[in-house]
């Protein structure tokens, strides 16, 4: 390794430590990136800007849905190093796992699979039952906590940036998603490079680049989570209506993404 490479790596490491130890530095970086990404006209350019701006490990959490498959294609196109992982809750549709395999083969990328702690799952099922998450919102969120949130926290530990496929028109609860924001809980910059994409733009991008997609999307599943918690939607329903359909709570989320408040949104 050349001295220049050693200095560059040392500089990025120091920058990463500064972001983690000084939230103000992370908040300022997030503000700058939010503006920068809003001015760029392609997913690939936005991902390159993220790679250049974020010091340290930048990770991408994929659920293998339409949005995340588009982002994965963009990541592969940049030929930059990103840490790509997915959460295996133990309750995925077989089609979701097939999509994971097809994506790794298509892009030559290894997707890190993160599992929940077996002891936590055993305790949860012993307490609530195998389908206990349908008995109350609290029980469902407890299931999401064990199978999703805790594994996510483990996967994000030490990262300086976290890329997601969130879009503003996915649901009312996501209407104010920024391109970049400081995530104080995880002490990193959270990045949403397709936040402003419409469903039409997303579908056009996927078709143009022949991106592998979960076959369940063609069967009426616009949003795909765990098999017991996801159904196809009816014509005219919100695209997330098939998630935890037995609940009446508005803006349903599993806890992976805290909903930003309108005052936090950027113009």
Give me the active site residues, please: 254
Report pLDDT digits (tens) over 129-164: 999 999 999 999 999 999 999 999 999 999 999 999
pLDDT tens for the chain, residues 1 to 267: 433 343 334 344 445 555 555 778 999 999 999 999 999 999 999 999 999 999 999 999 999 999 999 999 999 999 999 999 999 999 999 999 999 999 999 999 999 999 999 999 999 999 999 999 999 999 999 999 999 999 999 999 999 999 999 999 876 677 789 999 999 999 999 999 999 999 999 999 999 999 999 999 999 999 899 999 999 999 988 888 898 988 876 555 555 655 444 434 333
Q: Which domains does the chain have, with CATH numbers?
A: 8-217 (3.40.50.620)
Which pTM was predicted? Answer: 0.84
Report pLDDT digits (tens) over 91-104: 999 999 999 999 99
Q: Are strands 188-191 and 180-183 parallel, antiparallel or unpaired?
A: antiparallel
């Amino acid at each position: 390794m050349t001295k220049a490479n050693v200095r560059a790596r040392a500089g990025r490491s120091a920058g990463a430590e500064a972001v983690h130890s000084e939230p103000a530095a992370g908040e300022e970086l997030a503000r700058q990136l939010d503006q920068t990404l809003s001015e760029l006209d392609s997913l690939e350019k936005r991902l390159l800007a993220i790679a250049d701006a974020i010091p340290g490990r930048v990770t991408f959490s994929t659920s293998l849905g339409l949005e995340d498959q588009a982002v994965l294609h963009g990541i592969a196109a940049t030929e930059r190093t990103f840490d790509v992982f997915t959460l295996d809750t133990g309750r995925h549709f077989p089609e979701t796992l097939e999509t994971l395999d097809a994506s790794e083969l298509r892009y030559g990328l290894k997707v890190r699979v993160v599992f929940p702690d077996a002891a936590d799952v055993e305790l949860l099922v012993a307490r609530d039952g195998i389908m206990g998450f349908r008995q109350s919102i609290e029980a469902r969120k407890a299931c999401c906590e064990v199978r999703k949130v805790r594994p996510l926290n483990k996967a994000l530990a030490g990262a300086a940036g976290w890329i997601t496929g969130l879009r503003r028109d996915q649901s009312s609860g996501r209407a104010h998603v920024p391109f970049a924001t400081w995530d104080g809980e995880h002490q990193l910059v959270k990045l949403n490079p397709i936040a402003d994409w419409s469903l039409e733009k997303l579908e056009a991008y996927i078709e143009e680049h022949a991106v592998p997609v979960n076959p369940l999307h063609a069967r009426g599943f616009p949003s795909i989570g765990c098999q017991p918690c996801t159904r196809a939607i009816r014509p005219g329903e919100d695209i997330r209506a098939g998630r935890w359909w037995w609940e009446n709570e508005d803006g349903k989320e599993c806890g992976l993404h805290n909903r930003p408040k309108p005052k936090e949104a950027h113009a």
